[in-house]
Chain A
Amino acid sequence: MLQVISLLVENKPGALMRVTGVLSARGWNIDSLTVARTLDPTQSRMTIVVDIDPELRRQVIKQMNKLINVLQAADLTDGAAVSREMALVRVRAASENRTGVLKEAEIYGARVVDATQDGFGLECTGSPEKVEEFIDAMRAFGNVDVTRSGIVAVSMESRKVRLAPPVQAGAAANGTEELPSC
């Protein structure tokens, strides 16, 4: 099953490394990762797909939430969420196969984004399983080159993002009293 972590992060240099560092420090691989700015340009939305033990996933999400640049890390694995992926596929199709490719593409709702004498560029969007099947179908026609976007997901539950309020700058904010003389 897909294990999906969705993060809202501050759009700052290093934020991505901090998040992926939580996984790489444990020697875990990331199946897919997407990042893009949100409507608010100071924030980014990340979707990470991993394959790890559920108990550890909970731990990892807590650790991600602890990062200063992370506004919210949420587990979409078991909740109501929609996930989609896009694949751009270049398929070489000899002239006798061209109709077949187009028919198959139509079944999957894929769009032709480029057509040459050698073949087609196709865009397919859908659940990761559907994208997988489409790629398999295209491979039947010949050599394919595939670039997958990785999964983007959105939670269908409203999740309140709890943010920290501003605080006063300077020593008073930290409750630090007078320092010993040195």
Chain B
Amino acid sequence: MSNLMSGAGILVECLLRENVECMFGYPGGVTLPFYDVLRDGKIKHYLVRHEQNACFAAEGYARSTGKVGVCCATSGPGATNLVTGLVDALMDSIPVVALTGQVSTRLIGSDAFQEADTFGITRSCTKHNFLVKTANDLPQAIHEAFYIAASGRPGPVLVDVPKDVFIGNTHYAPVSTIHLPGYKFSAEGHLGQIRRAAQMIWEAQRPVVYAGGGIIAANASGPLRELVEAVGSPTVCTLMGLGGLPSSHPDFISMPGMHGGYAANMALTHTDLIIALGVRFDDRVTGRLDAFAPHARVIHVDIDPVEIGKIRAADLPIVGDVGRVLEKLNQAAAELAPFQKERQAPSRRAWKEQIAAWKAEHPLVPPVSEDRILPQHLVAEVDRASGGQSIVCSDVGQHQMWAAQFIRFERPRLWINSGGLGSMGFGIPSAVGAQIANPGKRVFALVGDGGFQMSIPELSTIASNGLPIKIVVVNNGYLGMVRQWQELFYNNRLSSVTLDAFPDAAMLAAAYGFPGRTVEDPKELRGAMGEAVNHPGPYLLNVKVSAFESVYPIVPAGGAIHEMVLGPPRPAAV
């Protein structure tokens, strides 16, 4: 099959072959030929209001479905605006394909209008990138981009397409195979190592499963649950791994680390075996390294060999897809169960009792107040409305940590947040992508008043597409997390953290044509939340919360995770 087509037409054909049904983008001069073809095509294009949000929306789409998210920007400023989103996707291993326009090949390097060295700029912001020089090379590059983005350790891939490549006519021959000889990844895992892992797990007296974003990326929550139940191991899920094991599962402790629960951090400190699954021993989890899990041996499963031994030496490394490895590990563990289960029962029981005691000693419960809305209380109300079933797209800061502590996620891909990069302004645009990918699901955008103001333009995208997102603004008038650090570690010398002149958010929503409400009285909160979720369209709930709350527990930077600052004792919700 071969027929004459423009590069733009070929690009659309290739996207269709990759099952792309929608994309997020912003047109411009050099992408005009592409947008001309898109107009009549089968791919739905969602016009965002800023290119950074096109990438965040593509991430929301990808994170909530596991499919590749697609975003598009024009050359120069369009491409440079994508950069934060690309790094965000890179840090959290999210499959995204970004298409950027470029000035015509003969102008590249001449400082042409809206020219930027996108290929150079995004080299370190992507898993891989391409500069396509002829329309003939386009199909190969596009299919390679999707393959690289989705396989192995997923990540963002950018394809830079000059204007003359869009325009040029050529014979389109669909590409049937792609060959990337240097792109090697081992998915299966070494069987001998897996058998040794099963042995180690049974022999451990105080095992802890440390599950991360890899569990979500590999769709491995089923085999994870099987392992946890079969070997009776308490489990912590990282910020990226929340929902990997249902929050209501009896073996789930909580998120560990800097703002993790007391029991989770104590369990990691006293464990004799860490079963690390799709995690990278992030500094926000480990705290001071020499004090992290000092008694533990480590089994580390990851598809990326770079992660193994990067931070903490692995006693038993297994390179592989965590889902495939877990399936084999479960089998190996089951084979040993008849000899081990009975024998280990007493030590497992004692370990679980110890963890239950830690949980009881310092439980993770949101405090409440009768005369003002505490932000933790607001987050708990979102949890109540969600019941562990809604998609919650969080921005970055205190509210993100409270959400990770107090909102239950009964399934994977419900909790969507910028974990590694911590990009403010992520919450609302990622909710746009998540809601479009999941039209039947309730989607909350949980944002602070800082991040909200970074993403106000997307209210227009929400209104224009009638996306029934429930925006909840945790409004404390401050950049709360920065202020908390200034209070705790900079002698309470507050510097540039006051967010005054915040607009009337309810009026702002009305200006965009959807309802909004501002709430200050704790007695009104539940009713207002009900109003928000029962409204069929978008709704903005601006909640003025008590200003000077801090996230506890907190492990000061450089501290050991068992040396948490627990905060003052508070009356808790019943």
> Is A174 interfacial (CB 8 A cutoff)?
yes
A166 to B181, CA, bound (A): 7
* B67 contacts across to A, CB distance below 8 A: 176, 179-180
Q: Which of B170-178, B357-365, B486-494, B514-522 contacts A (4 or more CB under 8 A)?
A: B170-178
Bits for A55-81, please: 1 = Cβ < 8 Å to B, else 0.
Answer: 000010011011111110000000000
Known contacts A10-B181, A62-B306, A68-B183; A173 and B128 CB within 8 A of each other: no
CB distance from A67 to the nearest CB of B (A): 7
Question: B184 contacts A162, CB within 8 Å?
Answer: yes
* A18 contacts across to B, CB distance below 8 A: 123
Known contacts A66-B304, A164-B183; A182 and B178 CB within 8 A of each other: no
Question: B436 contacts A182, CB within 8 Å?
Answer: yes
Known contacts A17-B123, A164-B184, A182-B436; A176 and B44 CB within 8 A of each other: no
Question: B21 contacts A167, CB within 8 Å?
Answer: no
CB distance from A124 to the nearest CB of B (A): 35
Question: A167 contacts B439, CB within 8 Å?
Answer: no
CB distance from B419 to the nearest CB of A (A): 20
> Is B485 interfacial (CB 8 A cutoff)?
no
> Is B22 interfacial (CB 8 A cutoff)?
yes
> Is B148 interfacial (CB 8 A cutoff)?
yes
Known contacts A181-B21, A181-B439, A182-B437; A168 and B177 CB within 8 A of each other: yes
A62 to B307, CA, bound (A): 9
Q: Decide if the interface of chain A is mainly helix, strand, loop or mixed.
A: loop
* A171 contacts across to B, CB distance below 8 A: 17-19, 146
CB distance from B177 to the nearest CB of A (A): 5
Question: A169 contacts B143, CB within 8 Å?
Answer: yes
Q: Which of A10, A17, A169 contacts B147 (CB 8 A)?
A: A169
> Is B180 interfacial (CB 8 A cutoff)?
yes
> Is B114 interfacial (CB 8 A cutoff)?
no
> Is B151 interfacial (CB 8 A cutoff)?
yes
Q: Which of A114-165 contact B (CB under 8 A)?
A: 162-165
A70 to B523, CA, bound (A): 61
* B175 contacts across to A, CB distance below 8 A: 169
> Is A107 interfacial (CB 8 A cutoff)?
no
A65 to B308, CA, bound (A): 14
CB distance from B197 to the nearest CB of A (A): 21
> Is A170 interfacial (CB 8 A cutoff)?
yes
CB distance from A165 to the nearest CB of B (A): 8
A170 to B20, CA, bound (A): 11
Question: A174 contacts B146, CB within 8 Å?
Answer: yes
> Is A109 interfacial (CB 8 A cutoff)?
no
Q: Which of A21, A62, A63, A71 contacts B182 (CB 8 A)?
A: A71
A94 to B147, CA, bound (A): 65
Bits for B120-132, please: 1 = Cβ < 8 Å to A, else 0.
Answer: 1001100111010
> Is A25 interfacial (CB 8 A cutoff)?
yes
Kindly report which residue of chain B lies nearest to residue A18, judged by CB atoms.
Answer: B123
> Is A96 interfacial (CB 8 A cutoff)?
no
> Is B39 interfacial (CB 8 A cutoff)?
no
Bits for A8-21, please: 1 = Cβ < 8 Å to B, else 0.
Answer: 01100110011001
Q: Which of A63, A69, A166, A178 contacts B179 (CB 8 A)?
A: A166
Question: B19 contacts A167, CB within 8 Å?
Answer: no
* A70 contacts across to B, CB distance below 8 A: 182
* B127 contacts across to A, CB distance below 8 A: 68
Question: B123 contacts A14, CB within 8 Å?
Answer: yes
* B179 contacts across to A, CB distance below 8 A: 164-167
Kindly report which residue of chain A lies nearest to residue B142, judged by CB atoms.
Answer: A169
Question: B182 contacts A174, CB within 8 Å?
Answer: no
* A69 contacts across to B, CB distance below 8 A: 182
Sort A-B residue pairs by CB-CB distance and give the 7 closest, nearest first.
A163-B181, A166-B179, A169-B143, A182-B22, A171-B19, A174-B150, A166-B177
Besides A59-B310, A180-B437, 13 other A-B contacts (C-beta < 8 A): A14-B123, A21-B123, A25-B124, A65-B184, A68-B148, A162-B184, A164-B184, A167-B177, A169-B147, A174-B18, A174-B150, A175-B150, A179-B65
Q: Which residues of A contact B (CB under 8 A)?
A: 9-10, 13-14, 17-18, 21, 25, 59, 62-63, 65-71, 162-171, 173-176, 178-182
Could you give 19 example pairs across A and B, Cβ below 8 Å?
A13-B131, A14-B129, A21-B123, A65-B305, A68-B180, A69-B182, A70-B182, A162-B184, A164-B180, A164-B182, A166-B179, A167-B177, A167-B178, A169-B143, A173-B143, A176-B67, A176-B68, A179-B67, A182-B61
